[in-house]
Amino acid sequence: MKQSRQENLIYLAVWGLLFAAPLLSLYVRTVNDPNIEFDWSEVFFAWRLFAVYLLLFLIHNFLLAPLLVHGGKRVVYYASVAAMLMAFTLYQCNQRPERRNHRRPPMERVNNHQPSFAEPHAESPTAFDGERPPLPDDGHLMKGKRPRNRDHKAGPRPPFVGERDILTIVVLVLMFGANLGIKFYYRSRDDQKRLAELEHENLEQQLEYLRYQINPHFFMNTLNNIHALVDIDPEQAKDTILELSKMMRFVLYEGNKKDVPISREFDFIRHYVALMQLRYTEKVKITLDMPQESPDRQIPPLILITFIENAFKHGISYQRESFIDINVAVEGEKLKFKCSNSKADQANEEKGGVGLDNVRKRLNLLYDNNYTLDINDTPDIYHVELVIPLKS
């Protein structure tokens, strides 16, 4: 998988600053102290050390880290890193300055007479060491035996891995860890971006499915109304067909769009309510309050019609008086929709419908939590209030 451009720019900036640090440090010292000359050998020495780290970083960044971040090969990655650290440790130990292993000259053999330590002999090794020779064992002196020769080292053998080596290894491990952290960050960011794209595609598919559910439901209700008008008033039925053609044009050409002008949605609601009023008698009181002039804003198509259909389905009674009140207002950057209806003894089941579950899903997909839907269902009245933001 290719690295992102931002990730490479981060690495370039960090290593650029690191290699520029010796130059800046030496320059500042020469400016502050005139006795110091600008010596490129110091800079080259520091760059030689940084070059080793850079080489190991490039190997880790392009070869080893992708095994863990993108391939999930933990065993191979950790084994490779352990081998690299071991090789780096051997390199560090071989490159450090050698420490000489000084030995003291062997002591002279001691005769049966006790030597005088007040004035060391000129040929004695103590004359070169400046140290007092070790005393012979008293038991050997008592028995008249000579002490055994002993070799004394000047100091302990230097350890294979020193403090400097441990520090450089720790720095290398931290560098690998920072490299992994950056890679995991960009991997997570890319995964979230791909997930958002998939969710967006899924959102569009769900919205298309929900819109296709609304279209046949609406046409079924409208055709039922026209069927009833054919027997009651044929001329009025012809006018209704013209109204239906306008509504079909809106549904076919505007219904599949993501957003439509708010004026088009208002016209569609007016045609629908006018078409529904033709079917009912004066016992049904239907009021529609909408602004005659609408702002230049947009909303998702057919987002309000489900509530209006639901009101006609559950709010009309042929036995007693009933009502439907629809109020639509634009306040600032928000649209406020209110719909109240009486509750019939038995709902008009012939109208069917996809119901409120459909519109709730659409609202959640379109606005997430940036909308308000309040439903008050009492024994006699059903009231809905919806507030959604408008798009410019």
Return the bridge partners of 91, or none: none
> pLDDT band at residue 161, thresholds of 50, 70 and 90?
low
Which one has a higher pLDDT value, 240 or 103? Answer: 240
pLDDT tens-digit map of 112-122: 444 444 444 44
At 271 the pLDDT is: 85
* Percent of the chain topping pLDDT 70: 71
Residue 130 lies in a domain: no
Residue 114 lies in a domain: no
Average pLDDT over residues 207-216: 56
Q: Which residue do the tokens 């050390």 mark?
A: 49
CA dihedral 53, 58, 63, 68 (to 10 degrees): 70
Q: Which residue do the tokens 């959640």 mark?
A: 364
Residue 264 lies in a domain: yes
Tell me: do 97 and 209 sit in the same domain. no
Domain final residue pick, 101, 116, 151: 101
Tell me: do 74 and 206 sit in the same domain. no
Residue 363 scores a pLDDT above 60: yes
Domain final residue pick, 78, 101, 124: 101
Q: What is the DSSP letter of 323?
A: E
Average pLDDT over residues 170-197: 87
Residue 108 lies in a domain: no
Average pLDDT over residues 126-154: 46
At 217 the pLDDT is: 58
Residue 86 lies in a domain: yes
Global pTM?
A: 0.47
pLDDT tens-digit map of 48-61: 989 999 999 999 99
Of 207-221, 327-341, 351-365, give the range with the top mean pLDDT. 327-341
Domain final residue pick, 101, 122, 139: 101
At 202 the pLDDT is: 64
Which one has a higher pLDDT value, 364 or 142? Answer: 364
> pLDDT band at residue 79, thresholds of 50, 70 and 90?
very high
Of 57-66, 97-106, 358-367, give the range with the top mean pLDDT. 57-66
Tell me: do 223 and 333 sit in the same domain. yes
At 216 the pLDDT is: 62
Q: At what angle do helices 355-367 and 305-315 cross, to 10 degrees?
A: 160
What b/e string do you get for 276-305 counting C-beta neighbours within 10 Å, with b at 16 or more? bebbbeeebebebebeeebeebbbbbbbbb
Q: State the CATH number of the domain containing residue 351.
A: 3.30.565.10
Q: Which amino acid is at 26?
A: L
Of 2-6, 68-72, 197-201, 316-320, give the range with the top mean pLDDT. 68-72
> pLDDT band at residue 352, thresholds of 50, 70 and 90?
very low
Structure token pair of residue 233: 């008033």
When the pLDDT of each residue in the chain is averaged and rounded to a whole number, the result is: 76
Q: Which residue do the tokens 């089941």 mark?
A: 349
pLDDT tens-digit map of 222-269: 777 778 778 877 887 788 788 778 777 777 676 667 788 898 889 888
Q: Are 115 and 196 in contact (CB under 8 A)?
A: no
Residue 15 scores a pLDDT above 90: yes
Q: At what angle do helices 305-315 and 262-277 cross, to 10 degrees?
A: 20
Specify the number of domains making up the chain: 2
Residue 132 lies in a domain: no
Tell me: do 230 and 348 sit in the same domain. yes
CA dihedral 288, 289, 292, 298 (to 10 degrees): -90
Q: What are phi and psi of 128, to 5 degrees?
A: -90, -35
pLDDT tens-digit map of 274-299: 877 877 777 889 999 999 888 888 88
Residue 66 lies in a domain: yes
> pLDDT band at residue 143, thresholds of 50, 70 and 90?
very low
Tell me: do 96 and 216 sit in the same domain. no
Q: Look at 135-139, 178-182, 385-389 and tell me which has the smallest mean pLDDT.
A: 135-139
pLDDT tens-digit map of 301-342: 878 888 888 888 888 777 778 899 999 999 888 999 999 999
The parent domain of residue 95 ranges over 5-101
Average pLDDT over residues 110-133: 44
Residue 367 lies in a domain: yes
Average pLDDT over residues 138-161: 49
